[in-house]
Structure 1
Amino acid sequence: MNDIKPPFTDLDIQTADTGFYEGYSLPIALASKVGIALLTAWALLTPGSAEAILSLLNTEILGVFSVFYVIAVGLFAWFLLIVAAVPSSGRRRLGKPDERPEFTTFSWFAMMFGAGLGVGLMVYATAEPVNLWGANPEIIKGAAEPHTAEAVRSAYRYTFLHYGLHAWAIYVVTGLCLAYYAYTRDMPLTIRTALTPLFGRHLNGPVGHVVDILGVVATILGIAVTIGFGISQLVNGLYSISGIEWLLQPGRDGAAPRPSAVGLIATLVVVMGLSTLSAVSGVGRGVKYLSNLNLVLSTALLLVFVAFGSFGFAMSTYGKALTDYVLHFPALSLEAYPAGTDLGDWQAGATTFYWAWWIAFSPFVGLFLARISRGRTVREFVLGAVVMPSLVCFAWFTILGGTSIDLELGGVAQGAIIDASATNKLFATLRFIVSEQVYGIVAVMCVVLILTFLVTSADSGLLVINTIMAGGEVETSVLHRIIWGILLTLVIAALILAGGGGLMVLQNAMIIGALPFAFVMVAMCVSLAKALYRDHHRDRLAEDRDGRDAGLRQLP
C-alpha cells in the first residue's frame, strides 16, 4: 500500500486580539448580528410586509425542496446506522484511545434530551398523535377513517417518524462530525471543521466564514421557533392555573382561544432572562443542573399518566406502533410525495416542517452534543443519541398521547382535546384524568417543567452561538452571552408581533433559514465518510509498518 498523506488540520480562524470582540471572529460576529438586527427591524417596522414575504418564500421553498428535505433526512439516518455498525468506524473513540467521558451517562443523557427535544416533547406529547390521528397519508389515501380505532396505527407510524431515528439522526450527523474532528484531530469545535476533508485550507477564509454564519443563523431561527412554541404552552399553563384573562385572546375564525401577544412577550422576557443567567454560569453548572431537574420532572409527569391515564391502551399501542414503524422504516426513509397533491401538501406542512425544524436546531444541538460527548465511542454516541432517545420519545408519545386518543375514542372527552389548540392539548387531557385538586399540583409541575426546558434550550443555544463566533472556543465572554441573550429575545419578540401574536412568521423564517444548512449537512456526511475511510487505511498502514519493524527486529 502507498502512504496516505496526513489529514488537513491546520484550520486557522482569525479572532480579534483586543477590544470589544477580543477572542471572537469579526466577520462571523458582525455578519450574524447585522443579519439578525435587520430581520428584527424589518419585522417590527413593516410587520405586514415581513409576514407576506416570508410566507411566500416559505411556500416556494416547500414546493421545490420538500422532496430534498425528505430524501436527505432518510440518508442521514441510514448513514449513521451504517457508520455505527461498521467495526472500524463504530469502535473509534471521540478523543484519545484511553480517554473516558467527562459526564456521567445520566447527566449526558439529561443534557442531550433537555437541549434536543424538551420543549417539543411538552408541546407535542399529545398534540402530535391527536393531530395525526385526524390526518396522515393513510387517511388521505382512504385506507382509514380519521379519529377511529383503525387510524391509530398510522397516526403513530408518522408520530414515530417525526420524533424517531430520522429526527435524532439530524442532530447526531452534525454532532458526530464536529466531535470527530475536534477530539481525534484537535481541531476547533465549530461548524466549518466538519467540512475540512472536502475543502481543506479554503475554509480558513470567506468560505469558512459563510459556513459558520449559516450555522449561527439556523441556530437562532431554530431556537426562536422552539421558544415560541414553548412560551405559548407556558402561557396556556399559567392561564389554567391563575385564570388571568389577559394571557389569552380569542382564536381566529372561531378557533380555540390562543395566547395573547402581551402574554407571549411578558413570558418571553422572563424565560430569556433566566436563560441568559444560566448561560453565564456555563455548561458544568447551570445547564447540567437544570437538565437533571428536567429529567426528574419529566419522569414525574410520565408517572402521573401511568397512574391516572390509559396505560394499558398506551402499552398495547406502543408494541403495535413500534413493530409497524420498524417494518415501514425503509419506506418512510424515501417516502417523498410531489408538491401540489394532497399527500404532498400534507408532507410539506407536517414532515418537511419537522425536518426543517430539526435541521435548524442541528448546529446548536449537534455542537452541544459534541461538547458533552468527548471520550465516547462513535457507536456509543450513535446508540446513545439516536436509538435510546427515540425509544424514550416513543414511550412518551404513546403514554401521554395514547391517553388523549383513548379519552376521545371512549367518548369521554367528546372532542374537547381534538378542538384544543396544539399548545393546550396537554392541559386539556390532564383535566380529564385527575381531580381538580390534583390538577392544580400537576399543572404547576408542568409549568415548571416547560420553563426549565425552555431555559435549558435557550441557554445551551447561547453558549453554542458564542462558541461558533469564537472560532470553536468553549470558554467565551460573559458579556457577549448576555448581548446575544438580548438579541435573541428581540428577534423572537419581533417575529411574534409580526404574526399578530401567532407563530406562523417564526415557522416561515425558520424553514427558510434551515434550507442552506441542509446542504451543508449533506456535505458533512460525505466529508465524514471520506475521513473515516482514510483514517481506517492510515491505521492499517501503521499496523503493517509496526509488523514489519517487529519482524526486522527479530531477524538474527
Structure 2
Amino acid sequence: MTAASEPHVAPPLIELPIKTASRGFYDGFIRAVAIPSKVIVSLLIMWAIFFPVRANETLEAANSRIITSFAGWYVYLVAFLMLACFVLALVPQSGRLRIGNAGEKPEFGRFSWFSMLFGAGIGIGMLTYSTGEPLSHFANNPEIIRGAVAAESVEAVRPAYTYTFLHWGFAAWGTYALVGLAIGYVAYRRNLPLTVRSALAPLFGLKLSGLWGHLIDIVAVVATLLGVAVTMGLGVEQFVAGLARLGLGDWLLDSDGSSSALAIMMALLILVGASTLSALSGVGRGIKWLSNLNMVLSALLLALFLIVGSGLYGLRVLGVGLWDYLRTLVPNSLTLFGGGNPIGEALVQWQLDWSVFYWAWWIAFAPFVGMFIARISRGRTIREYVLGVILVPSLMCFMWMAIVGGTAIDLELSGMAEGRILETGISDQLYATLAVLLGPVSTMIASGLVVVLLLTYLITSTDSAILIVNTINGAGESEGSRRRHIIFWGMALALMVGSMLVLGGIDAIRITMIIGALPFSFVVAIMAIAILKAVAYDLRRNRHGVPTTAEAVEDASMGNLPHS
C-alpha cells in the first residue's frame, strides 16, 4: 500500500510555535517562562537569606516526608530510564536512526564530544567523591549493616565498589542520555525548538505551545538551577579546602573545619565571574576549550595516581568492581529496602542517604546535562549516542573511583595513612590522600593541580547551565542578545549556593535539590514514554514510506497531512 492509502500513517509534527517577546528586556524570550522562573529562584534566595532558621526547619521536614514517600518512585524510575535507553540503542532498527537529517555529520569530533560530556556532566562530583564515596562505603554499606563483612576491612572493599559503581554508572548517564535523546531527537529530526517541552510533543502535540508547555519549562529551569547548585556547593567546599591546603590562610576555614562564609563568597565571586565570561563566549569557544583542558588535566592527575599511588591495586579493584557491578546491576537497581527491625531501618536510611539522593540529583541535573548533550550530539545515530553517552563516561568514572579511591583505601589498609584520610571531611579527602602519598613540595604541586582542575570543571558546569537556562527561556534559541540574562543567572546561582551553604552547609543544598527534583521526575517519566513512541512511530512511517524528518516532509510536500 502507498502512504496515500494509509491516512492513519501521518508524518510527524514539524512545527511547535512558541510565542516569544519581540522587543524590550525579554526580546527573544518567553516571558511566561523567564519571569516566573526568576521570581521562584529569587524567592528561594530571599527565603534562605532573611529566614534562615525557619527555612532550615522547613527544608528538613519536607525532605523527610518527600524522600521517604517517593524513594520507590526514584528507584524504579531510574531503572526504567536505563532500560529504555538500552532498548532504543540495541534494537537494530531504532539504533540506526539519526539524531538529525539523513547523512548529517556530527558538529564535534569524538574527543571534544567526550570531553564536553564528561566536564559538564559529572566532573566536579567525581573529584569530591572519587575518594569520598569508596571510603564511605568502605566504612558502611549494606553488607556491613547486615554483618556479612567487617567495616574498614579487606572484605569490605568489594561491596564498597559495587555500590560506588551503582551510583556513578549507567543510572546517572542513562538518566542524562534519555533526557538528551528525547529533546535532541525531536529538535533535530523534526525541527522543533531545542527545549524541554518539545520532548513531550510526540504525546501532546500543539498543546505544548501554551500554558502546559510553559509550566514544563519553568519546572526544568528551577530543577536545573537546584541540580547545578549541589554540584557548585560540592565544588566550592573542595575548592576552599584546596586553598587552605595550599597555605593561603586560616581565614578560609571555621573552627570546625568547614568553609568560612567569607571564603565561600570569595570562591563564588571568582568562579561565577569566570563562568559568566565563559558563557558569554558560547559553546563553540569557551566551553569547548575548557572541556578539552579538563580532560588533559584529569588525565595528568589520574596518571599521577597510577604511577605514584596504588595503580596496580586500583586496576585490580576496577576489574573486580566492574564484574560485581554488571552481575548485580539488575537486582541492585530494583532493590528497595524495607524496615521492621534495626537492620532493616539502617538499610532504609542508607538507601535514602545514598541511592535515593543520587537518583534525585541525576534527575535534577538532567534538564541541564540532557539539553547540553542534545546540543552537542546532532548528527549521531541513536546507537552511537546512547553507547557513547552511557558507556564511555561511566567507564571513566569507574577508573577514577578505582584508581584514586583505591589508592586511599590501600593507604588505610596498609597502615600508612593511620586514619588521616578516613578521619577528614569528604571535601578534604582527596588532598589528604595526596599528603600521605607525596612529599610536602609534591603535595603542594598536586593539590594546586586539583584546585585548577576544580576551577575549570566548576566554570564548565556553571557556564553550560547558564546557557541552557537561557536556551529554555528563549524557546530553544541559544543565539542572540542574552548578555543581561546570562549575568542575572550567574548572580542568582552565586547567591543561591552562598546562602544555602551559609544556612546549613551542603546538606541544605542537597535537601532543596531533592525537593526541587520531584516535579521534574514526573516530566522525565513522560519524556521516556514520548521518545519510545516517537521512535516506534518513525519506524512504522519508514515501513510505509512516510517521511520522518522535517527536511524530508518539506521535500515531499506532505506538510498538509494530519500530524501525530
Q: TM-score under structure 2 normalisation? A: 0.94
Is structure 2 residue 213 aligned with structure 1 residue 227? Answer: no
Distance 2:412 2:472 in 1: 47
Residue of structure 1 in register with 2:100 after alignment: 95
Give the letter for the 2:412 counterpart. E
Residue of structure 2 in register with 1:241 after alignment: 246
Residue of structure 1 in register with 2:315 after alignment: 315
Residue of structure 2 in register with 1:17 after alignment: 22
Please say if residues 11 and 546 of structure 2, whose CA atoms lie closer than 8 Å, have aligned partners that are also in contact.
no
Please say if residues 13 and 190 of structure 2, whose CA atoms lie closer than 8 Å, have aligned partners that are also in contact.
no
Residue of structure 1 in register with 2:330 after alignment: 330
Indicate which of 471, 474, 482 corresponds to 2:475: 471
Distance 1:338 1:288 in 2: 45
Q: CA deviation at 1:38?
A: 0.6
Q: CA deviation at 1:514?
A: 0.4
Residue of structure 1 in register with 2:524 after alignment: 521
Aligned positions, number: 537
Residue of structure 2 in register with 1:538 after alignment: 541
Please say if residues 339 and 345 of structure 1, whose CA atoms lie closer than 8 Å, have aligned partners that are also in contact.
no
Where in structure 1 are there 5+ consecutive unaligned residues? 252-256, 545-556
Indicate which of 64, 68, 74 corresponds to 2:73: 68
Structure 1 residues 13-412: aligned runs within 5 Å? 13-251=18-256, 257-338=257-338, 341-412=345-416
CA 1:417–1:100 in 2, change beyond 3 Å: closer, same or farther?
same
Q: CA deviation at 1:250?
A: 2.4
Distance 1:338 1:227 in 2: 33
Q: CA deviation at 1:201?
A: 1.6
3-state DSSP class of the match of 1:326? helix
Residue of structure 2 in register with 1:456 after alignment: 460
Please say if residues 254 and 260 of structure 2, whose CA atoms lie closer than 8 Å, have aligned partners that are also in contact.
yes
Distance 1:141 1:207 in 2: 47
Q: CA deviation at 1:543?
A: 8.0
Q: TM-score under structure 1 normalisation? A: 0.95
RMSD, aligned α-carbons: 1.2
Residue of structure 1 in register with 2:442 after alignment: 438
Where in structure 2 are there 5+ consecutive unaligned residues? 548-564
Q: Alpha-carbon deviations, 1:384-425, whole Å to 9, x = none?
A: 110111111111100000000001111111111111101100
Residue of structure 2 in register with 1:417 after alignment: 421
Q: Alpha-carbon deviations, 1:187-231, whole Å to 9, x = none?
A: 100000011111112111111111000100000001111101001
Please say if residues 231 and 267 of structure 1, whose CA atoms lie closer than 8 Å, have aligned partners that are also in contact.
yes
Please say if residues 108 and 372 of structure 1, whose CA atoms lie closer than 8 Å, have aligned partners that are also in contact.
yes
Please say if residues 196 and 527 of structure 1, whose CA atoms lie closer than 8 Å, have aligned partners that are also in contact.
yes
Give the letter for the 1:202 counterpart. K
Q: CA deviation at 1:338?
A: 3.2
Deviates more, 1:294-303 or 1:74-83: 74-83
Distance 1:205 1:376 in 2: 31
Q: CA deviation at 1:166?
A: 1.1
Distance 2:101 2:133 in 1: 42
Deviates more, 1:60-69 or 1:257-266: 257-266
Q: Alpha-carbon deviations, 1:423-466, whole Å to 9, x = none?
A: 10000000111111111111111100000000000000000000
Residue of structure 1 in register with 2:559 after alignment: none
Q: CA deviation at 1:497?
A: 2.3
Please say if residues 47 and 497 of structure 1, whose CA atoms lie closer than 8 Å, have aligned partners that are also in contact.
no
Distance 2:146 2:67 in 1: 21
Distance 2:351 2:223 in 1: 21
Q: CA deviation at 1:6?
A: 2.3
Q: CA deviation at 1:13?
A: 1.1
Give the letter for the 1:523 counterpart. I
Residue of structure 1 in register with 2:558 after alignment: none
Q: Alpha-carbon deviations, 1:107-159, whole Å to 9, x = none?
A: 11101100001101111110010001111111111111110010100000000
Distance 1:315 1:127 in 2: 18
Give the letter for the 2:291 counterpart. S
CA 1:489–1:411 in 2, change beyond 3 Å: closer, same or farther?
same
Q: Matched residues, percent identical?
A: 46
